[in-house]
């Protein structure tokens, strides 16, 4: 294919010596050749930086940056400062992608004239590979994309499996004060800026590895809980002037708070440690009135919210079956 426009791939790196080579092999072997790979080492204490240097020495498309440890958001922000491409893709350093990852994303964004385009993914847990089924849609508006985002209908909060037109996210940064949900906020801010978004759920090019210590699998802490709640409440306030979006953002807020309840419900030790958070959030969830919002809810989300009111632990058990 003709590689007309440069795609910048941002990869935050931190203590992934066991996995970074597989990730980089998948990136340097893309069928779409016009790419730059921005590796941001976030103060790794293992051999990650050394491995990255070896790859950078033999492939001029790799640009390596090293910084003191500041967290994944600060690493991604440094990457954004050095973007030269017309499009941006994010990849986690312990995951990998198919050879046609960039090609498929680029074709989708160009063919649908969308500033944000997504494909599906595979989840890999203990060597079991599961394709995630996603909806497909072409050229939906910003408001419709936000609706799908709030309701979890094909637009998720993950940065991976997406391509962003750089002009749309130029000036945006990840909030480095957040320990969780920073990607939720970034996707929300992006969706506000776009004209159109598209999703091809039939194509899965990203391999998301679920493992202990991965960027998205950290221990629950009070600051992570606070971050998730802050983001949910900010989005609701930000949607205040749009009646329909405000209604949907309220559903999104209570869903995110419900996820916090599910996290705390994972085991009895967490329940004891975060009992105060649990009780406060559970009261909010139980006070949340669903009746006048039913028209905006899928059956699955409606049932989940009803079950959360009854027993967050039950929702956790059912999800893990």
- Whether residue 11 is found in the same domain as residue 159: yes
- Residue 16 sits in the same domain as residue 161: yes
**Pairing mode of beta strands 87-90, 62-67:** unpaired
Residues 51, 164 within the same domain: yes
pLDDT for 320: 61
Domain shared by 281 and 175, yes or no? no
205 shares its domain with 244: no
Average pLDDT, rounded, for the chain = 91
pLDDT at 213: 45
Compute how many other C-beta atoms are within 10 angstroms of the C-beta atom of residue 92: 22
Residue 62 shares a structural domain with residue 204: yes
pLDDT at 133 over 80: no
Domain around 262: 222-319
Q: Are residues 203 and 236 in the same domain?
A: no
Q: Has residue 68 been placed in a domain?
A: yes
Number of domains present in the structure of the chain: 2
Residue 266, pLDDT score: 74
H or E, element range at 149: helix 142-151
User: Has residue 29 got a pLDDT over 60?
Assistant: yes
Task: Answer whether 219's CB lies under 8 Å from 269's CB.
Answer: no
Residue 15: which CATH number? 3.90.550.10
Over residues 212-228, mean pLDDT? 71
- As a whole number, mean pLDDT of residues 314-320 equals 71
Q: Please report whether residue 215 resides in a domain.
A: no
Q: What is the pLDDT of residue 313?
A: 78
Round to the nearest angstrom and report the end-to-end CA distance of the chain: 43
């Amino acid at each position: 294919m003709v590689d007309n426009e440069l795609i910048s791939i941002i990869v935050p790196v931190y203590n992934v010596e066991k996995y970074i080579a597989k990730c980089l092999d998948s990136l340097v072997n893309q069928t779409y050749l016009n790419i730059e790979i921005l590796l941001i080492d976030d103060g790794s204490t293992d051999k990650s930086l050394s491995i990255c240097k070896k790859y950078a020495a033999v492939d001029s498309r790799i640009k390596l940056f090293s910084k003191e440890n500041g967290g994944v958001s600060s690493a991604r922000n440094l990457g954004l400062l050095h973007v030269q491409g017309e499009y941006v893709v994010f990849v986690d350093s312990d995951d990998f992608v198919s050879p046609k990852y960039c090609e498929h994303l680029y074709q989708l964004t160009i063919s649908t004239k969308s500033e944000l385009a997504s494909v599906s993914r595979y989840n890999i847990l203990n060597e079991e590979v599961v394709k995630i089924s996603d909806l497909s849609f072409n050229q939906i508006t910003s408001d419709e994309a936000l609706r799908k985002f709030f309701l979890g209908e094909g637009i998720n909060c993950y940065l991976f499996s997406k391509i962003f037109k750089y002009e749309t996210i130029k000036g945006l940064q990840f909030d480095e004060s957040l320990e969780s949900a920073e990607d939720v906020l970034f996707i929300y801010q992006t969706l506000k800026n776009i004209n159109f978004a598209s999703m091809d759920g039939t194509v899965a090019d990203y391999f998301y590895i679920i493992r202990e210590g991965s960027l998205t699998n950290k221990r629950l802490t009070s600051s992570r809980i606070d971050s998730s709640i802050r983001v949910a409440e900010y989005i609701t306030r930000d949607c205040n002037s749009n009646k329909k979006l405000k209604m949907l953002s309220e559903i999104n807020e209570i869903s995110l708070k419900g996820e916090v309840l599910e996290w705390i419900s994972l085991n009895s030790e967490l329940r004891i440690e975060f009992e105060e958070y649990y009780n406060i959030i559970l009261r909010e969830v139980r006070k949340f009135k669903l009746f006048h919002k039913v028209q905006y809810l899928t059956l699955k989300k409606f049932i989940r919210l009803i079950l959360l009111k009854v027993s967050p632990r039950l929702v956790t058990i059912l999800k893990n079956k």
